[in-house]
Amino acid sequence: MLSQTSAGLAKPASPASTPYCLFSGAQQDEMRFACSDCGKIYKHLRSLRTHLKFECGKAPAFSCPYCPFQTKRKQQVSLHVKLKHRAQLGP
């Protein structure tokens, strides 16, 4: 019996001067944009900018009509209601 353990996690150094850090994936053209505030990673710089502008550090703007659940995305509310309050929605 052989047990294999692979601990090969490499953390890329992020320069503090930029508002976001870039990750290069397996391929060179596969870049990742990470929020320096919360660490969320986005595939497109545009998405990260939207996150920084509307999400990061902002108070939740949408809340569930059935429970105290709050989120920053309207889409998340409908998804939450679908998952958690299917009974209230009816057939």
Does residue 62 belong to the site contacting Zn ion (CB under 5 A)? no
- Closest distance between Zn ion and the C-beta of residue 90, in Å? 15
Contact 78/87 with Cβ under 8 angstroms? no
In the complex, the smallest distance separating the C-beta of residue 23 from Zn ion, rounded to whole angstroms, is 15
For position 35 contacting Zn ion by CB under 5 A, the verdict is yes
> What span, in angstroms and rounded, lies between the C-alpha atoms of 53 and 46?
10
CB of 51 to Zn ion, least distance (A): 6
Give the closest residue to 63 by CA, choosing from 84, 77, 49, 53: 77
State the number of binding residues for Zn ion (CB under 5 A).
9
